[in-house]
Amino acid sequence: MVADWRSAPLRPELKATLVFLEKLTLWPEELDSSDVEAAHAGGVSTRALRDASTVCALFSMIVRLADPLGWEVPSTESLHSRAPAMLDGGYRLDAVGAR
């Protein structure tokens, strides 16, 4: 999937979400209601699209701020130790605050 998500055997909802997120990331000025309608036609709920867009926006913001602010990338060991909590709680703000 990482090498080529377009040809990977993904659920239609995930593929429709990735199409939307790609446009949101690379060409945000071109995003319009037809893109939302296409995601809905692919089986993506409004809530799922909103959640995916929020995560995408947060990652985009973090990536753009990391270098100028000198944020360190956690070690592989640190990422592995945090992975179970991320898998369990996801990116919900209440889950992050509870950790």
Q: Decide: 60 and 25 in contact? Cβ < 8 Å.
A: yes
- Give the pLDDT score at 57: 92
Give the pLDDT confidence score for residue 91 in this predicted structure: 61
State the alpha helices, DSSP H only, in the chain: 12-26, 33-41, 46-69, 76-89, 93-98
Cα–Cα–Cα angle for 13, 60, 70, nearest 5°?
A: 150
- Which percentage of the chain shows pLDDT scores above 90? 55
12-50: per-residue pLDDT in tens? 999 999 999 999 999 999 999 999 999 999 999 999 999
Q: Is the pLDDT of residue 90 over 80?
A: no
What pTM does this model have? 0.72
- pLDDT of residue 75 exceeding 90, the answer is no
